[in-house]
Structure 1
Amino acid sequence: MSDHYKPRTATAIIIANMVGTGVFTSLGFQLLDIQDGFALLMLWVLGGVAALCGAASYGELGAALPRSGGEYNFLGRIYHPAAGFISGWISAVIGFAAPIAASAIVFGTYATAALPGDYGPWVTKGLAASVVIIATLIHGRNRGSSGAFQSSFTLIKVIMIVAFCLAGLLLVADAQPISFAPSASGFDAMTSGSYAVALIYVSYAYTGWNAATYISGEMKNPQRDLPRVLLVGTAIVMALYVALNYVFLRVAPIDAMTGREEIGYIAATYIFGDTAARVTGMALALLLVSTVSAMVLAGPRALQGVGEDFPALGFLGRVNGAGVPRNAIYFQSAVTLIFILTSSFEFIVIFAGAMLALNSLLAVVGVFVLRYREPDLPRPYRTWGYPVTPLIYIALTVFTLVFVVMEKPLQAGFAAGLIALGGVFYWLSKRLGR
């Protein structure tokens, strides 16, 4: 019997998927319009609440429909195979390949900054491609080496973030003059249009809380373990995000961070001094190895499901002797390398969070659909707080998506075209399959 991914590995995949470039870059953009400490921290609390509500809903879906593939499995089972196919298409092309490329390039950027000497953009891209290739080779072998690699790098990531936060609290005696107490100005900021824009960044940073559902079919007891894994992993990330942003705001002046991307580096200079720049760059690079690795591992499971269900794409569903979907992993990484080498992923990354949110929204709505249509379906776990919990997620996600359409019509049009293209591929795969 083949080995299985353990609950701790699934939890590590969630944490590693979520904690990536978003939390280390978002604050600089949020500060352009919002400079109230309470309102800024509430962004991350609200994002965490939405993610927890989504995780609770996914726990029910994952326990009732325990097959790898994430939204591909859920949407295809709840709505129609075409919905699942398009979801898998989006996950492969946008949901994973583009963020993997983005994280890998940031890895290359921080790594070259940490090394002595000056390096051109192709060195950065070379390092980015290298980390993707290494992760691909490791995860394409077997679950034992894959799980150990993922768990180890995620543990390093969590330890480094906790150490960074403790250093910010203990080594900086004079905190910045910013208040985190609730205030009228804070509540005014939370009802503004700019706050909705900031929530888009936060939503992208929290993307990945559902990652464990992509490997649920490769867990020994997903009905028992998946709900706990989803909630624990998401809660840990929420705590890390709130703590990180509290420390950023406490140690560094707002003017120094406003409009800047390298928030972690800026905060580190105020904690440790300028000499920490190279160390911080390498530390952030190591954090991103875990993120790249987790997405290389999770994403291909949706492609595997597509290959198993559609004969025309059957090569994606094949597994090696250890039960690992090697072809799907290689295919996704090939798409990722194209993004890295051409840099054409930048426009896609802008709306990748919204596309994944749409996938997750349809899945959470599916909790209601499935309970209505199949009330007798065995549900080893039922969503805590139903129906309020999924409704909170739906409301926050719809609010964010509506604002994306209003403020970013070009990205919304591109997303609609991508969905339509997925529909065309579904039709072609059915014809070729026959």
Structure 2
Amino acid sequence: MSEKSFKPVLGLWDATMIVAGSMIGSGIFIVSANITMNVGSAGWLVAVWVITGFMTITAAVSYGELSGMFPKAGGQYQYLKEAYNPLIAFLYGWSFFAVIQTGTIAAVGVAFSKFTAYLVPAVSEDLVWLDLGFVTISPAQVLAIFTIVLLTYINTRGVKSGKIIQSTLTTVKLVSLFGLIVAGFFMLKADVWTANWSNAWDMKKLLPDGNIETYITIGAFGAIAAAMVGSIFSSDAWNNVTFIAGEIKNPQRNIGLSLFLGTLIVTIIYVSANVMYTGILPLNEIAFAENDRVGVAASTAIFGAAGTIVIALMIMVSTFGCNNGLILSGARVYYTMAKDGLFFKQVGELNNASVPQKALWIQCILASVWCLSGKYGDLLDMISFVVVLFYMLTIIGIFILRKKRPDAPRPYKAFGYPILPLIYIIMGITFCSLLIIYKPEYTWPGFIITLIGIPLYYIALRSKSNKD
């Protein structure tokens, strides 16, 4: 009996929808509050999103070269293994499983619940269903877990099921976001726009009591780095399409193209949305929107009382679709690690629908645990540093592989090489360095989680050699 293999059923449109859909969750409706509080001006708010967008697109088009060279399931895990060694790849895979993917799935699931509570107050996160002493469980957490389990089950039925959900919901949310932005520009308030943009580049920290703190020059760079934690999280997960290379038609062409198209579409929407915010809401209302829900405040300013319902429905669609993409693609990394003998053996098996069912369920279990922990928000602060670190290592891998394997087939070459990849690396080093200096609480916890992977790697190797 021949071993089951992945079925290439996803086209360019499907792949692009996975890129865009996995990127757009609830972040664009929320994190602009923290960014505005840190930078204190309309110009720098938009600049943070432009810088993040430039970094994201640059990284995405650089990954195009690697995806063409190694069009296999596992994506970034494979690239790191080929450019460096199995240990570096394992540290990425471990961090991805322990925090990056499962923590993000949990956070997006709870965001779905929070906005569902606008329409169904019975699922509010402020209610307590069960108090176990060491943990309290709210209906919002239960609903989040239910959606994660539901989407996991759907994706165990085959990649076509996940594909239909992803393409449909991503199309709906792109059209909805575009509609919200256009409506916002039609309702633009001239006095608000003028006030926000009159001192657009005067960077300062806004305080809840209405006062401000000015920055010395180096402190301003730290403020930008702190602000970018939110925008980078909101723009992350674009690389998820690389994990499902085995299920994409003509992956050498379509992965690179979908990375570029998906990140470009999302960057245009994100920057436009923030420009729209500055024409609708005074800076203080962006910075100190209730529960950071800038999208709700903007939608209410545009649509009146119905705005809350409009934005709640948009975010429910957005987060549900986002989690579908994250769940679908993430499991392929653990599958590939298991194939290398570095994860539970059973996780490296495909079911009759040609999907890694056990990998999907183990991902579901850990994401559900993170939902119950209530620590997903803290986790996401920790992982931006680790995420950018691995992006940098992967892009440096392009330079290494050009030296190690100059004659390897490269159906798609990194756009702007070596200048653009080098700019990304410099920006990434700057971002990580500033976080280490100014926001160490955003760096060391995630770094420690990654380093825990070192002893785990050698335990896995020993287990593998014993079985062999």
Superposed displacement of residue 186, structure 1: 6.7
Supply the AA of the counterpart residue of 2:440.
P
Superposed displacement of residue 410, structure 1: 3.7
Which digits, 9 at most, give the CA deviation of each residue in 1:81-116, with x for residues without a partner? 111111111111211100111111111011012225
Distance change (3 Å), C-alpha of 1:26 and 1:311? closer
SS in 2 for 1:32: helix
Which digits, 9 at most, give the CA deviation of each residue in 1:347-380, with x for residues without a partner? 2111122211111111000000000111011111
SS in 1 for 2:72: coil
CA contact (8 A) 2:189 2:279 kept: no
Task: Give the equivalent residue in structure 1 for 2:135.
Answer: none
**Alignment pair present for 1:304 and 2:320:** no
Distance change (3 Å), C-alpha of 1:237 and 1:252? same
CA contact (8 A) 2:122 2:139 kept: no
Q: Which of 386, 391, 411 lines up with 1:360 in the alignment?
A: 391
**Alignment pair present for 1:124 and 2:129:** no
Task: Give the equivalent residue in structure 1 for 2:116.
Answer: 111
Output aligned runs, 1:296-375, within 5 Å: 296-310=327-341, 313-375=344-406
Distance change (3 Å), C-alpha of 1:311 and 1:231? closer
Which digits, 9 at most, give the CA deviation of each residue in 1:176-233, with x for residues without a partner? 1345589664799897231222122222221122121111122121111111111000
**Alignment pair present for 1:148 and 2:158:** no
Q: Which of 251, 255, 265 lines up with 1:226 in the alignment?
A: 255
Output aligned runs, 1:280-295, within 5 Å: 280-295=311-326
Task: Give the equivalent residue in structure 1 for 2:45.
Answer: 40
2 CA distance for matches of 1:211 and 1:324? 16
Supply the AA of the counterpart residue of 1:209.
W
The number of equivalent residue pairs is 434
Farther off after superposition, 407-416 or 21-30:
407-416
Task: Give the equivalent residue in structure 2 for 1:83.
Answer: 88
Distance change (3 Å), C-alpha of 1:92 and 1:250? same
Q: Which of 172, 184, 202 lines up with 1:168 in the alignment?
A: 184
CA contact (8 A) 1:301 1:328 kept: yes
Distance change (3 Å), C-alpha of 1:256 and 1:312? closer
Which digits, 9 at most, give the CA deviation of each residue in 1:408-434, with x for residues without a partner? 324433223212211111111111111
Task: Give the equivalent residue in structure 1 for 2:285.
Answer: 256
**Alignment pair present for 1:157 and 2:173:** yes
Task: Give the equivalent residue in structure 2 for 1:70.
Answer: 75
Superposed displacement of residue 312, structure 1: 5.8
Superposed displacement of residue 123, structure 1: 1.4
Output aligned runs, 1:132-281, within 5 Å: 132-172=148-188, 174=190, 176=192, 177-178=194-195, 185=202, 192-193=220-221, 194-260=223-289, 261-281=292-312
List alignment gaps of at least 5 residues for structure 2: 129-137, 205-213
Distance change (3 Å), C-alpha of 1:7 and 1:25? same
Superposed displacement of residue 282, structure 1: 2.7
Distance change (3 Å), C-alpha of 1:304 and 1:180? farther
SS in 1 for 2:37: coil
1 CA distance for matches of 2:269 and 2:238? 14
Which digits, 9 at most, give the CA deviation of each residue in 1:389-424, with x for residues without a partner? 101111111111111212232443322321221111
Distance change (3 Å), C-alpha of 1:199 and 1:312? closer
CA contact (8 A) 1:404 1:412 kept: yes
Distance change (3 Å), C-alpha of 1:263 and 1:312? closer
SS in 2 for 1:220: coil
Q: Alpha carbon RMSD of aligned pairs, Å?
A: 2.1
1 CA distance for matches of 2:190 and 2:418? 46
Supply the AA of the counterpart residue of 1:38.
G
2 CA distance for matches of 1:312 and 1:291? 26
SS in 1 for 2:345: helix
1 CA distance for matches of 2:123 and 2:174? 30
Distance change (3 Å), C-alpha of 1:141 and 1:178? farther
Identity, % of aligned positions: 25
CA contact (8 A) 1:312 1:430 kept: no
Supply the AA of the counterpart residue of 1:239.
I
Distance change (3 Å), C-alpha of 1:170 and 1:410? closer
TM-score (norm: length of structure 1): 0.95
